[in-house]
Chain A
């Protein structure tokens, strides 16, 4: 159970940042995972008054505020057109609509959870995060930072490009955490395959051997899938063994490659 003594609706990012420098304080996202912890904190810092629940569009990018809900991602026409529906596909199995109305982009990305569908997709989209203090950096780079950083995730920035994207995941049962997540994208002939829920957090694998460079066929798709599965690290947990995940990885990557031809 999460308990705390003080609830603060920050009135500026500066105030939120100053408050979160204290180890005893914690930033509130959707609170869905936070509340599962048996923990007493000093103050929770709520960003809900900072206008970060908006998705802004410019000619070159989408700027997704940290307090945008996963449901907004699912139903946002522009983001789904940009990702050929991968955005909705990546979140549609996350518990239920009521959950996704509460869960935030910021909470999902900042936590860098191993099971995160959202982290997997944003990494494949070559998205960037904007941190109040540390500034803008790639999601891939952000994912490598130590877990306990004291900064405020302000927004996630998705570049508007001609990138084609496919998202697939494997779950033991509907609405459960994924056993494995897979996001494959291609831009200018360069393939980026992100595998998450290994069960470690998402990691990026490119087509280093140029297996897909000539053409996509069932044979080249299978070769690339085998290559990714052989390079990725997997581990075991209650949802599946490392060996099972490796096998599933081959299947998801192969299907993703073939599906990418259709989008």
Chain B
């Protein structure tokens, strides 16, 4: 066992872990159940969390490597996600909803990096978020509708 310390959703936590524990298992053990276990082969994006603000696959990062860093999951970004997810729901784009937390996390990262992305930039940024239900068009419409709404609100 080894001890790690990190900031998880704005709270400093200390925990004893096995050296080979993955970050996905760690954050889920801390109650962050929005972080989904999907492919476990680093392909689907369901386990996306932000590490120091950068989207990463928590299935492929050791909890030990995350020590000393800031980790955000959807549990800690409810306010930032709130407006946006309404537009996704309006398009019926979530369907089964299993991919949704990872998709929302990566969209948050995209919009922090590029506040006014084109459709092609959205597609490129979200290429690593797989969805077996929606065919992605509803998600794209939801993001576009959200961005248009924000533009009008300015």
> Which residue of B2, B22, B106, B124 is within 8 Å of A98 (Cβ)?
B106
Stretch of A1-9, A14-22, A133-141, A214-222 on the interface side:
A1-9
Q: In residues 66-80 of chain A, which contact B (Cβ within 8 Å)?
A: 71
Contacts of A175 in B (CB 8 A): 43, 127-128
**Cα distance A175–B57 in the bound complex, in angstroms:** 15
Contacts of B59 in A (CB 8 A): 35
Contacts of A13 in B (CB 8 A): none
**Cα distance A10–B126 in the bound complex, in angstroms:** 34
- A96-B127, A174-B127 in contact; A102/B45 too (CB < 8 A)? no
Whether A32 pairs with B125 at a CB distance below 8 angstroms is no
Whether B45 pairs with A98 at a CB distance below 8 angstroms is yes
**Nearest Cβ distance between residue B40 and chain A, in whole angstroms?**
9
**Nearest Cβ distance between residue B86 and chain A, in whole angstroms?**
24
- A92-B124, A97-B128 in contact; A2/B106 too (CB < 8 A)? no
Q: In residues 82-133 of chain B, which contact A (Cβ within 8 Å)?
A: 106, 109-110, 124-129
Contacts of A30 in B (CB 8 A): 60
B48: Cβ under 8 A from any A Cβ: yes
Interface residues of B (CB under 8 A from A): 2, 19-20, 22, 41-43, 45, 48, 51, 54-57, 59-62, 64-65, 106, 109-110, 124-129
**Cα distance A89–B39 in the bound complex, in angstroms:** 26
Query: A-B contact count, CB below 8 Å?
Result: 76
- Chain B: which residue is nearest A93 at the CB level? B127
Contacts of B60 in A (CB 8 A): 30-32, 35, 99, 102
Binary per-residue interface labels of chain A (19-44) against chain B in the complex, 1 for a CB within 8 Å, 0 otherwise: 00000000010111001100000001
- A4-B19, A95-B128, A96-B128 in contact; A101/B56 too (CB < 8 A)? yes
**Cα distance A6–B42 in the bound complex, in angstroms:** 23
- Chain A: which residue is nearest B22 at the CB level? A35
A258: Cβ under 8 A from any B Cβ: no
**Nearest Cβ distance between residue B136 and chain A, in whole angstroms?**
11
**Cα distance A148–B10 in the bound complex, in angstroms:** 42
Contacts of A31 in B (CB 8 A): 60-62
